[in-house]
């Protein structure tokens, strides 16, 4: 298993859609074969279509607000006294998180395919909020599938979704979180694929959805590479790119243009959700060595039992609370290009406390997991090491949880 250079990772799969010949693929019911083939053909065409690319760039710049800023966290750096800590402020993007890139691209594809309805899943509510925004912007009717438990814990985003005119379909089956929302959304698409486009909210699902999402979020690293070169004149000798990993869309987007670098120069660190301290439940299939399984149409490392039933997960962060992970991250893990670890709920909360105390920053619980790792390793590193954290979401949506756990927001 080897990563090839100069080819985007999203395109390094075989003809059946597998990365490293075992991750990904398209394990789908027959009914979805045709819509997925159509989508695959359309995307292949569109990503080479100059007009479409111009349109995408126009909306990325004028609607999403690219580029998001790249800033040094002076106080945190001084406080920890080791490596320099920087942040890529993806939370500045319209809507408050990286999910807007994928949502905008899916809305544009939906328009290009002449479909009027768009549906999507959401955990933290960001994917849903952004899809509802993009749908409104481009005049599409939108339904968002969301677990009943997540609807309760991510209230602010739900309000935003409804305000944008989209319908939230609560999912009561299973654990009532993201995994069930994705299943229900896929079921809906099976029944309505003739007039409806589906957006999968992360780099998961059947092969084509991994590709579209990765292609969209790669904007983050495109900007970052430019910003790093501008700031440091060249790519520094020691960089660590730290990102939280649920499905893995922001991490892939943050890393994609740096994958060709030697890992000693640009280290990629993914931080999964370790769940509550001492709990057996987590959402960390990569760092806690889950077995390969098939979930939502793709093979990846999946939290599951011996029989193949998908395991329940637990995390304070709804956006990371997912038993599977992108096949691309499985590929990066097995080729050892990226390193994966986890942070517990408590570590993420402590990181949130420290970062918000020292900096004018309000990272959501998802990137707080990445900050936890940065805080852990920074003191042990030299000053010339550059740690960059993708602050990929804003904590506004977490206000209820933060108030409850920290007594304030």
Partner 1 sequence: MHNSLIIKAFRRAQDEGRPALLTYTVAGDYTKKKSLEILKSISNYSDICELGFPHNTPIADGGQIQTSSYRAIKNGIKMKDVFSIVKNFKKIKKNKPIILMGYFNMIYQYGEDKFIKICKTSKVDGLIVVDLPYPENKKFAYKCKKNKINFIQLISPTTSKIRLNKIIKESHDMIYYISMLSTTGGKLKVSPKKILREYTKIKSHNKHKKVVIGFGITEKSINSLKKADGLVVGSAICNEITRSIKKGQNAVTNATNVVKKLKNKII
SS3 155: helix
Per CB under 8 A, 34 contacts partner 1: yes
> Minimum Å distance from CB 362 to partner 1?
34
Q: How many residues bind partner 1 (CB under 8 A)?
A: 39
- Dump the DSSP string for 339-394: EEEEE-HHHHHHHHHHHHHHSS--B-HHHHHHHHHHHHHGGGS-TT-EEEEE--BB
Q: Which is nearer to partner 1, 191 or 279 (CB)?
A: 191
Question: Out of 11, 14, 29, 44, which residue is the one contacting partner 1 (CB under 8 A)?
Answer: 29
Per CB under 8 A, 174 contacts partner 1: yes
Question: Out of 20, 24, 25, 96, which residue is the one contacting partner 1 (CB under 8 A)?
Answer: 25
Question: Out of 102, 304, 344, 368, which residue is the one contacting partner 1 (CB under 8 A)?
Answer: 304
> Minimum Å distance from CB 81 to partner 1?
46
Dist CA 168 CA 119 (whole Å): 10
Q: Which has the closest alpha carbon to 102: 236, 3, 235, 247?
A: 247
Per CB under 8 A, 114 contacts partner 1: no
Question: In this structure, are residues 277 and 344 in contact, taking their beta carbons and an 8 Å threshold?
Answer: yes
Per CB under 8 A, 308 contacts partner 1: yes
Structure tokens at 135: 């749908």
Question: Out of 259, 273, 295, 375, which residue is the one contacting partner 1 (CB under 8 A)?
Answer: 295
Q: Which is nearer to partner 1, 315 or 344 (CB)?
A: 315
C-alpha to C-alpha distances, 395 to 3, 97, 214, 294, 306, nearest whole angstrom = 35, 10, 23, 32, 36
Question: In this structure, are residues 132 and 160 in contact, taking their beta carbons and an 8 Å threshold?
Answer: yes
Dist CA 233 CA 178 (whole Å): 42
Dist CA 191 CA 196 (whole Å): 9
Per CB under 8 A, 27 contacts partner 1: yes
Per CB under 8 A, 248 contacts partner 1: no
Per CB under 8 A, 16 contacts partner 1: yes
Q: Which is nearer to partner 1, 246 or 293 (CB)?
A: 293
Per CB under 8 A, 35 contacts partner 1: yes
Residues that bind partner 1 (CB under 8 A): 16, 25-35, 37, 173-174, 179, 183, 186-187, 190-194, 291-297, 299, 302, 304, 306-310
């Amino acid at each position: 298993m080897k990563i090839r250079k100069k080819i985007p990772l999203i395109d390094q799969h075989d003809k059946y859609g597998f990365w490293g010949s075992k991750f990904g693929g398209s394990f789908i019911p027959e009914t979805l074969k045709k819509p997925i083939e159509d989508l695959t053909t359309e995307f292949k065409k569109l990503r080479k279509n100059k007009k479409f690319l111009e349109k995408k760039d126009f909306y990325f710049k004028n609607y999403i607000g690219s580029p998001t800023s790249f800033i040094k966290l002076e106080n945190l750096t001084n406080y920890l006294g080791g490596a320099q800590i920087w942040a890529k402020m993806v939370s500045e993007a319209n809507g408050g998180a990286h999910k807007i890139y994928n949502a905008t691209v899916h809305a544009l594809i939906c328009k290009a395919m002449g479909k009027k309805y768009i549906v999507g899943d959401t955990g933290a509510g960001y994917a849903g909020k952004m899809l509802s925004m993009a749908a409104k912007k481009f005049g599409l009717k939108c339904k968002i599938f969301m677990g009943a438990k997540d609807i309760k814990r991510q209230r602010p985003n739900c309000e935003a979704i409804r305000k944008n005119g989209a319908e939230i379909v609560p999912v009561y089956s299973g654990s009532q979180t993201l995994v069930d929302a994705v299943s229900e959304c896929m079921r809906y698409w099976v029944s309505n694929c003739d007039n409806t486009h589906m957006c999968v909210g992360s780099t998961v699902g059947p092969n084509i959805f991994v590709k579209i999402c990765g292609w969209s979020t790669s904007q983050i690293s495109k900007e970052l590479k430019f910003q790093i070169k501008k700031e440091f004149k060249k790519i520094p000798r020691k960089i660590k790119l730290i990102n939280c990993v649920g499905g893995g869309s922001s991490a892939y987007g943050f890393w994609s243009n740096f994958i060709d670098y030697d890992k000693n120069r640009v280290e990629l660190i993914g931080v999964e959700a370790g769940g509550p301290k001492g709990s057996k439940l987590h959402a960390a299939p990569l760092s806690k060595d889950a077995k390969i399984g098939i979930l939502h149409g793709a093979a990846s490392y999946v939290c599951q039992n011996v029989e193949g039933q998908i395991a329940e997960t637990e995390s304070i962060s709804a956006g990371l609370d997912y038993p599977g992970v992108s096949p691309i991250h499985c590929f990066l893990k097995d080729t050892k290009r990226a390193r994966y670890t986890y942070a517990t709920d408590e570590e993420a909360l402590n990181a949130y406390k420290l970062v918000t105390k020292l900096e004018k920053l309000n990272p959501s619980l998802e990137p707080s997991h990445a900050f936890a790792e940065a805080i852990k390793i920074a003191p042990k590193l030299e000053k010339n090491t550059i740690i960059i954290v993708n602050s990929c979401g804003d904590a506004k949506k977490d206000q209820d949880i933060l108030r409850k756990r920290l007594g304030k927001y």
